[in-house]
């Protein structure tokens, strides 16, 4: 299996997700600027994968600048700021940077530990999440709605919310997945549909605007999403559209589950109001793959994320625990 991101021959190898589903291209990153570019243009994305990218990026810097801690720390600060909403990127950078005084090999060992822990965390979340879904949903087989991409492409292997879908499929109790296309960059249709096809799991793709009515018609049994940051009170930042999906799930009486590694839990951030929401460029909204879809001069508002309040979340599943927010539990 091709890992989404890995360390190979003193370089960072990662799948260029902007090229999917048309072709599988591996980027070989040997310097900081190409890594920052890959993160900024979403060639690598997804909270767990960004955590690994942060750690491996510092390892790369330490090998490029042996004995020059100032250069490594300056580069690490640039890397840390490449995407502000996803806490895992900063977490991975800081964790690897803490080993800098022990030398480049120690930094690399820490980065590889982050990678290996992510693989184990995704396996744990898949099992814990599938067990919870089985307990919450009486209907068999089960129909799962999801948004954006939370599979192996968002991690090193397997993924978070889509990893749970894969586990349900492996247990023989998945009727179908219902991924949303996920505007404006179509991570659901480009990436999640591609992963489900590779998996062999049954699915039907929905336009984003159909989600509420599909839930209201009783055509989905549970909603599973990932998270880029979970605050101390249980508010969750995820791909824009997640908040609307949570509102629709509440109206339909459908469980709404967040699946994210413990590294995405940010106890230093008290609630969603304190999360910085990344605003991205106009081109993502005005055009797609170079084809303009709006009149010249159109202004845009393009938040990459939104915040779902804990009051709309049934439970948060991590690799270590299940936080039942519907019972008043909080991650903190």
- Which residues are catalytically annotated? 228
C-alpha 324/C-alpha 330 separation (Å) is: 8
What's the maximum distance between 2 C-alpha atoms anywhere in the chain? 62
Where do runs of H (alpha helix) occur along 81-183?
Answer: 87-97, 104-136, 161-170
Place of tokens 């499929």: 169
C-alpha 189/C-alpha 178 separation (Å) is: 11
Tell me which H or E stretch contains 215. helix 211-216
C-alpha 225/C-alpha 223 separation (Å) is: 7
C-alpha 239/C-alpha 229 separation (Å) is: 11
Q: Contact at 8 Å (CB) between 316 and 325?
A: yes
Q: Contact at 8 Å (CB) between 84 and 69?
A: no
- How many Cα atoms occupy the beta-carbon half-sphere of 294 within 13 Å? 12
Q: Which residues pair with 5 in a beta bridge?
A: 14
Tell me which H or E stretch contains 291. strand 291-292
Q: Do the strands 256-259 and 315-317 form a parallel or antiparallel pair, or are they unpaired?
A: parallel
Residues in contact with 193: Cβ distance below 8 Å, sequence separation at least 6, in sequence order? 21, 179, 203, 205
């Amino acid at each position: 299996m091709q890992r989404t991101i890995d360390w190979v021959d003193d370089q960072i190898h990662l799948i260029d997700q902007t090229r999917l589903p048309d072709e599988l291209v591996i980027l070989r990153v040997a310097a900081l600027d190409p890594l920052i570019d890959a993160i900024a243009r979403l060639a690598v994305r997804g909270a767990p994968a960004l955590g690994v990218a942060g750690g491996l990026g510092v390892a790369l810097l330490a090998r490029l600048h042996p004995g020059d801690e100032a250069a490594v720390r300056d580069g690490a600060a640039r890397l840390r700021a490449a995407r502000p909403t996803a806490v895992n990127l900063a977490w991975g950078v800081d964790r690897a940077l803490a080993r800098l005084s022990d030398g480049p090999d120690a930094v690399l060992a820490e980065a590889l530990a982050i990678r290996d822990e992510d693989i184990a965390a995704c396996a744990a979340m898949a099992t814990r999440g599938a067990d919870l879904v089985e307990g919450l949903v009486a209907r068999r087989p089960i129909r799962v709605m999801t948004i954006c991409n939370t599979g192996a492409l968002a991690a090193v292997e397997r993924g978070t919310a889509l990893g749970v879908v894969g586990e349900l499929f492996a247990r023989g109790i998945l009727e179908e997945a219902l991924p949303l296309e996920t505007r404006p960059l179509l991570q659901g249709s480009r990436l999640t549909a591609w992963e489900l096809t590779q998996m062999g799991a049954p699915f039907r793709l929905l336009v984003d605007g159909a989600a509420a009515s599909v839930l209201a018609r009783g055509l989905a049994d549970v909603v599973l999403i990932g998270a880029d940051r979970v605050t101390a009170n249980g508010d969750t930042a995820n791909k824009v559209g997640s908040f609307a999906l949570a509102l629709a799930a509440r109206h339909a009486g459908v469980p709404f589950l967040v699946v994210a590694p413990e590294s995405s839990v940010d106890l230093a951030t008290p609630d969603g109001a304190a999360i910085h929401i990344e605003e991205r460029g106009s081109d993502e909204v005005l055009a797609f793959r170079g084809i303009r879809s709006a009149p010249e001069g159109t202004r845009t508002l393009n938040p990459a994320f939104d915040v779902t309040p804990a009051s709309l979340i049934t439970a948060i599943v991590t690799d270590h625990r299940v936080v039942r927010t519907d019972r008043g539990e909080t991650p903190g």
